[in-house]
Amino acid sequence: NAGVTQTPKFQVLKTGQSMTLQCAQDMNHEYMSWYRQDPGMGLRLIHYSVGAGITDQGEVPNGYNVSRSTTEDFPLRLLSAAPSQTSVYFCASSYGGRAQETQYFGPGTRLLVL
Amino acid sequence: QQPVQSPQAVILREGEDAVINCSSSKALYSVHWYRQKHGEAPVFLMILLKGGEQKGHEKISASFNEKKQQSSLYLTASQLSYSGTYFCGTEISNSNYQLIWGAGTKLIIKP
């Protein structure tokens, strides 16, 4: 049981490049979410999904796209990277279809945009 | 809309007690507490639901005052392993499945 896995662990991008951050969970969780964490600001929700085929925007969705074609996978796409997107990105999942459950976080992806 | 956590940081000696507060301007449905160690992912501590009781886990417990829209996390007889940053995540009533997180409280435990 691997839990929540994220790849890559580290990434350096140039401004304007695009990339996909991968997130997968093997716990059959319905709810998955993406957060970014910046110093002194806690976690901010980017996008979330309450089940396969269903996604919605969080607090800071601009510049990011998501899709949920399977229960297991929830990739986050940066369309055109900007220095303001330099951050640590966490994927999380929880049983059931809402946030009112224990969230299990992945190890994070550290992204630097130059 | 972001809940306010206080204090921002606290330094304790091993064995001392600490209280971390989380206050929201919105009516809350639930409050979640997580601890994050440096360079690691946040780890779940407990959830407090509207209308629920005070929760506890070993020497870490929490309360939820719905009327004041506040939650407090109590760490008793702190251990070195308690060091880290504590975050509260709040679910606003009818929030449509989103958690809004505080900025965190950094706890340093010294021997």
Q: What is the pLDDT of residues A22-72, one digit of tens each?
A: 999 999 999 999 999 998 778 999 999 989 999 999 989 999 999 999 999
The answer, yes or no, to whether residue A99 has pLDDT greater than 60, is: no
Contacts of B3 (CB under 8 A, 6+ apart): B22, B23, B24, B88, B90, B100, B101, B102
The answer to whether the Cβ–Cβ distance between B30 and A100 falls below 8 Å is yes
The answer, yes or no, to whether residue B96 has pLDDT greater than 80, is: no
**SS3 call for A85:** helix
The answer, yes or no, to whether residue B95 has pLDDT greater than 90, is: no
Mean of the per-residue pLDDT values for chain B?
89
Q: Which residue of B has its CA nearest to A108?
A: B41
Distance (Å, whole) CA A66 – CA A50: 13
pLDDT of residue A20: 98
**A108 closest CB neighbour out of B41, B87, B97:** B41
Average pLDDT over residues A71-96: 94
Buried b (16+ CB within 10 A) or exposed e, A20-47: ebebbbeeebbbbbbbbbeeeebbbbbb
Contacts of A11 (CB under 8 A, 6+ apart): A19, A21, A109, A110, A111, A112
- Give the residue with greater pLDDT, B5 vs B51: B5
Count contacts between A and B (CB, < 8 Å): 61
Contacts of B53 (CB under 8 A, 6+ apart): none
- Chain B residues whose C-beta is within 8 A of a chain A C-beta are 2, 29-30, 32, 34, 40-44, 47, 49, 87, 89, 91, 95-104
Flag whether residue A106 sits within 8 Å of chain B, measured between CB atoms.
Answer: yes
